[in-house]
A and B are shown apart, each in its own frame.
Chain A
Amino acid sequence: MLLIDCPFCGAHAEIEFRYAGEADLARPSAAAGDGAWIEFLYFRRNPMGLHAERWRHTHGCGRFFNALRDTVSDRFVATYKPGEAPPAAAAAADHDR
């Protein structure tokens, strides 16, 4: 069983959660132009390795949060609340890759 550590209510089984896409996508202004909007709407990083993602604890506390997940091993390196920066150690591991 894969446990995901919800930053609001602790470690729970994976089936209680839903993936919700790449994290930290900033919505462009209405005047930003087609290029910026195409980038925002359609292009994703899809990395091999650490990926900042949004998850929702759908069948639990119901809250969205962010996770750093390794797309190769499926290991959750860190989870953190929306608006927070990823923990420094996890970000350093990201940099080392």
Chain B
Amino acid sequence: MSSSEVASDLSPLNRLWKAFASVKLTIVLLLTLAATSIIGTLIPQNETPVAYVQAFGEFWYRLFALLGVFDMYSSWWFRSLILLLTANIVVCSIDRLQFTWKIIFARHPKFNIARFRRFKRKEEFKAERAPDRLKNIYPSIVARRFGYHRVEDTDEGFAVYGESGRWTRLGVYIVHFSVVLLLIGGLIGSIFGFDGFVNIPEGETVRTIQLRNNPKNLQLDFEIRCDDFNVTFYDTGAPKEFRSSLTILKQGKPVYQKDIIVNDPLQYEGIRFFQSSYGNLPPNEVMLNFTSKATGMIYNQKAAVDKQIVIPENLGTFALKQFTRAADFRGQNIGEAFIGVLTPPNGSPVDVTLPLRFPRFDRMRKGDVVIAIADYLPRYYTGLQVSRDPGVWVVYTGFILMIIGIYITFFMSHKQVCVEVTADGKKSRIKVSGTANKNKLGMENKVSNLSEKLAETESSAKGEAKN
């Protein structure tokens, strides 16, 4: 169906086609998408129901939930809008392409001299030579500036047609096709891809990934181990680099190793691991020192959770029991600490708090032995974002095509010129006119340039005649 066809007695299917080929629909859809997209930026997405009820109250929560506002970009109505836009682009492009295709791939481009004669803006000049002499010179000049040229005889002389950039009419279709590619790529990604995360403590190996927006876990075909994690800081205290050394294992054997930092992920079997966050873990091992009140002697001992330590001078036994992120001291948070149990030789066991940050804290207990954490190796876990997106190459192709397509549509055009030469006695009269589907101002310049160039051959011809 070309849009030029008469709009009477259309079948319902044709009418539907026409509706989707309309740019009015495009404008309505684009503005509707723009307006509705705002909602999801005003209402934070994908929070917990509790948070929403607190923020909006029960009634509005129900209503919003019904409309899918809390996850609006994947709600049925938003997806329908995008689907409509896609249908609109596809139908509209096909509808117009039939027409454009004929123009672009015409074997012999049609030139209609009457059309060029009608243009108001023309460059005109007179030449001393007769048309048949100019016929040897002009075509090559036109050919140099426009890719295609053709000479046709007219009643009183001849005309040279030139044209370039016919194919640039395809630019818009490239743009529209690229939009469709983006949507297809996104669809492929959401069907065949996944998005998840995993935390791996240093030295440990995992194969289960927690999926995002999905309660299920994912089992990988391989295992991934974090050998080491490091964070470095600037002098200001801002983080400078997060680095995880990762090893991929298959059936327990290392097959691939890579250090990843933010912006430089590891990829294995199409699955990518991105450095995303990190956190502290309780140290596996700490160096404790025990200071005897009686003798003032200090004894160093390595300790791990649940390992019994016998304190010299018969001061009893000690064992670390657990680690806490926020130990409490008289209602104050004193940060990360180990809680241990000291069992004196004669007496009941007492709990001892050993904050990592305050090594002298245990003095306040005023016991026979003061216990302190002298040293420990910090231990981290690395937080990895894990994703697989087989659609990403379709999307990237779309990106490239879109940029190329927009450039072609905006800044290149289909240009046509006509140089008409008519006999004027023994001399000639020349009229140059041209047209372009875009940037008409630029085309006017091009026409006057061409005309100047043609006129210049006069003076050089005169020079030759004199010699």
The answer to whether A and B come from one shared complex is no
